[in-house]
Structure 1
């Protein structure tokens, strides 16, 4: 059975199952056992396991531990764990997020070292689809789009109680749980959870969501076909005022002429960037229309971003205007929004190892920008790394920041932040204790 039918990884590192090999030296004295697993669990839930490593040798060891899933074994997580001579080490937080299957499924999960394997069977129970009236776009209609089209998927707030959390998957792989100011603002103002995905490869793709809640999980599935003759996203044909620059302290009427060649238009969502607010949602209809918005000004260097959405939830995002981007001499500074985003970390790490944080800065302006970037860690913030990053106009620059973690005795989770002065992104990371 294909792992993608029922699993999706939540750890780091993907590869093939390790081969058992004969061992010389102390490593051969390491045994592994699975002592706890929260099975059975519902589709979309996080499988959490605890293992135990016993070192009967006379020397301390560092053991490479792999989490392996499926009848066609695949490594979904790796970790290096120190185990002192003559001691037993408990290893927690072995986990991955399951797929929102519709029928019950049982499959093997292994915790493996180079010389030993412990295996248990895990059962994931199927979940029901929630009512189609709460899912957008209509999952029962044909959804065929051209390559490069972005589709907005939504779940009505009536489907989500206070305990509900959404998890999104594309083609069987876990993608995200929506987080950040824009999804939160959209949910508050529009009353829907959102997830966007751009479809580039031709063929048929599946988008799934799992709503995990205390009283039971539910899901929704969309089938999206990507073809050269598919639906084109809506277009913006004209903007008024035509000048990109807006006065931050004066009222202005904004207008967008929009059109669609394949389906009816639906709405325009007006955002003000940096302040992360929705100014309005304008209804539009037909295959061509004009959306307008009256504003009283805005924050300096903030942009107006408009999402033009059609009835099948294909959408186009444009940034036609920015507030006061001129310097005192009247020259266009070309400044746009310059957000920083944490893309990935190598968490979890063992205390004493180097934490690697991969981040990116996006420059939406028309001029090159330079930012000083800091990596700050801990609940009592400590600056641990910094660098200067230059990003060309309209470009994105990736970079890494490093932090040598402390050799803590017990597992420890803590926040890490990447800051540029005008933008910040944060994640929580985990350092495993050394047991000493």
Structure 2
């Protein structure tokens, strides 16, 4: 990767600083940035920096720096200021004078020259001080998804702080800057383990602080060790199985990270089952970063008399995937029912204190009758508020209605509700109006998915249609979004305007990823007030 391409790739704010037209095809106007005045002073042995604003921006190769009429010497456009000029178009350089005396420093671009007279004397103000720390620190280990904050604290007894430059320590490349003022300043560079690729490679982060008169100080800090994030997703099971048979759970593991540094990553995968979680199997696989590997975990089920449904959880040290599995009891004969939630509706929005009702359509897709305890679970901290026992024959459907009296909240409250059968779970976000005026003069958009074109082949377009109804008492315009995946991602959206009581249909979609193996995942259509979810299948290329 060329240096300039690398610079553009690191740091969240680099793009905002990048020049749109470096070059020397026209006359360039130069203006001093620091030192601001044409005369300045620095102590012997202390660093001093120079910067001019160029209009239009210029390339580093177009800058001619001279000291006392000669090129090179004590002042050079070295890192990070070479890459700084690449990004901003502003000529910059730094260096130091070891002996007392007076020197002329100049930069010339396309025939235009800016110069300074530098008095090197022990009577000059002291260099600014700078302390740089990293959180998490160098003794910590984080994943590529975790946040990293590098904080610089600068001070200048003369009160002339001006600018702070961030430089990564791998390629000595400039990544960001912050304007300062006064005698003290603290600023933080925020990034993630995955973006701070210099930390992945074991290199430091460096800060430079410049004063208005050019005095310059640098400091550095080491960062944490950065490891790949080990994702896991259950792709299928052989459930339902008969009591005493082996239950097999298949899962895809994929380490997220930077392949330049991680390469093959050892991923330990654990299978944990039951309402009273029990570890039953584990496997360690070596997976190349950015690639997926399928693992199969299994255990011999207990010889139980009655059919049981319980959670099966696959874990790595960073991620978890859960599904419900069913073991057919020895006294339940050939019953292998499987109860899916194929439709979910609510009477939301309601006002706090009113009854919230959730109606679900249940379909038995197994090859035997399904007797289940169906649960209504509500809230961000999930709580079971109602249950109902149902039995659904093979190939049949049934409708259940569960509900509870909502809490009389003062302010509007939005939260998820779930219907759980033991074999399947469906959810929807509902709105409960607060007693302090919630629902008065407001537009509220209810959402109901009406269909999808799933299953589709990987790489094909997946479309989802949904009915949007304004159940509020005022006209309004809101964004409606399509969210997909177990790690939710917004892939499409539309702005919808509706009068009170009006309904419209939206069609949203996206081009699916060409997966190798079949992938089953949720899709959600949501407004700011409600949502509806379906599970879809994308066929793999194999």
TM-score (norm 2): 0.32
Structure with larger Rg: 2
Comparing both chains, which one has the higher relative contact order based on Cα–Cα distances under 8 Å and sequence gaps of 6 or more?
A: 1
TM-score (norm 1): 0.39
